[in-house]
Amino acid sequence: METLKKINAEEALQGKPRPHYLVGEVEVSEDLNTLCGTAVFPSSDISVGDRGHVNVAHKEFAIWSGAHILADLNGLENTRVTDILPGRIRGGEFRPDVPARMELQISDRRGSERIARGVIRATFVQGEVISEFGYEWIASKK
């Protein structure tokens, strides 16, 4: 991925819905359609610690944190899911407190003057464990 910029995730997510699991810098592609970064799901988060493993919902919160960053860069707001696409989890459970690499890609972008639509796909890798997710989305143009 050719990087346009590196963005501090914590700063970019200020004022955005929580929880935030993206940490440090994220890399964004020149075309503003790909974001790569690190997600950490801390055991100190009661919803992670009570389970002893990372739940699908935690990963989805990290995905939407990345989606909010890409939306801002693309001049979009009010991003919403319109459909959940097939995904998969291979290799076991994600462990708390262990960094996971996350990559988001926006594709199939289309829309009108006021509305944008597309598909967002996300992949998480933590050692040999891989999780993949996909969603159709809609957003308003700023």
pLDDT of residue 92: 86
Cβ neighbours of residue 14 closer than 8 Å, sequence gap 6 or more: none
Is the confidence at residue 1, as pLDDT, over 70? no
Burial class, 141, CB count within 10 angstroms (exposed 0-12 / middle 13-18 / buried 19+): middle
What is the Rg, in whole angstroms, of the alpha carbon atoms belonging to the chain?
Answer: 15
pLDDT of residue 2: 67
pLDDT of residue 109: 86
Amino acid at position 46, single letter: I
**Six-digit token string for 98:** 């262990």
Q: Which domains does the chain have, with CATH numbers?
A: 3-141 (3.10.129.10)
CA distance 115 to 22: 27
The pTM for the full model equals 0.93
CA distance 67 to 73: 10
CA distance 35 to 22: 11
Q: How far apart are the first and last CA of the chain?
A: 27
Residue 4's pLDDT band (cuts 50, 70, 90) = confident
Is the confidence at residue 3, as pLDDT, over 80? no
* Greatest C-alpha distance within the chain: 46
Is the confidence at residue 26, as pLDDT, over 90? yes
Mean pLDDT of the chain: 94
Tokens 């009010």 -> residue:
78
Residue 122's pLDDT band (cuts 50, 70, 90) = very high
pLDDT of residue 94: 93
